[in-house]
Amino acid sequence: MLKTILSFSHYTLLEAWHTRTPALLFAVLGLAYFLTVFLSHITLTETQAMQVALSAAFLRLTGIYLLCLFVISSMVREQQQTTVLLWFSLPVARWQYLLGRWLGYAGLAAIMVIFLAVFLLAFAPIKGVLFWALSLWFELLILLSISLLCVLTLPHTVLAFSAVAAFYLLARSIHTIELMATGILPNITQTVVDQWIAGFIQVLALLLPDLARFTKTDWLLDNTFAFDELSLLFLQTLIYLAVILSAALFDLYRKNW
């Protein structure tokens, strides 16, 4: 059983290698380097802070983009080439297939985070970079799980990636949206529609992960963080991984393959 799961993980990492994902990652690091050089020539004060803030945001977004796009494209390609039918014709349980693929994607996410963190070590203290890297890995685990769920439900690259992008943007901004919906100005009376909208947004805020708490640039700039905060992020990640992967497994067993 373990050998089967690890075989799928190894296959996933080999697929990432053959699809030139490492080359794209190094291209991203090269772009981040040129961005820091460019900022060093145009900023007069707080040069290092600007380099850290913008390069960290750039690396986080591009890392999420590369990983989610690889997860979705590889799963779609496997379904279109009917490779998945070959796997399931063998004595392999579907949960073993899903877990093996997920572990492979999680390993790829860890490798990507290591390279991104090593790049940031040139500009930020090691403790802040370590905290930032662990948080980014947690965030990537949630997003790759959402990508798996979306690609199993919507087996098309554009549709699945659009759903993941919408989830990410909503989860990153749900706290701000909630404040805008519930923060009533003085002498302003809420209508029934306003109350329904505010209630709906509050329900969404309870259901969605608060990704705004993940991978904060402040940790790199101020070197101020608490391990309690990391433990809360870890607990939140475990909860959402359990829910999302359960939904993905249910959808996988539901398919008539």
Q: What pLDDT score was predicted for residue 100?
A: 94
Q: What is the pLDDT of residues 133-154, one digit of tens each?
A: 999 999 999 999 999 999 999 8
Residue 224's contacts (CB-CB under 8 Å, 6 or more residues apart) are 218
Q: Between these two residues, 96 and 194, which has the higher pLDDT value?
A: 96
The Cα-based distances of 132 to 107, 141, 219, 227, 240 in angstroms read 18, 14, 7, 12, 20
What percentage of the chain has pLDDT greater than the value 90?
A: 49
Structure tokens at 176: 């701000």
The CA distance from 244 to 110, in Å, is 19
Q: What is the pLDDT of residues 225-239, one digit of tens each?
A: 667 888 899 999 999
Q: What is the pLDDT of residues 155-201, one digit of tens each?
A: 889 999 999 999 999 999 988 888 877 765 555 666 777 778 888 88
The CA distance from 52 to 220, in Å, is 7
The Cα-based distances of 242 to 49, 94, 205 in angstroms read 37, 16, 18
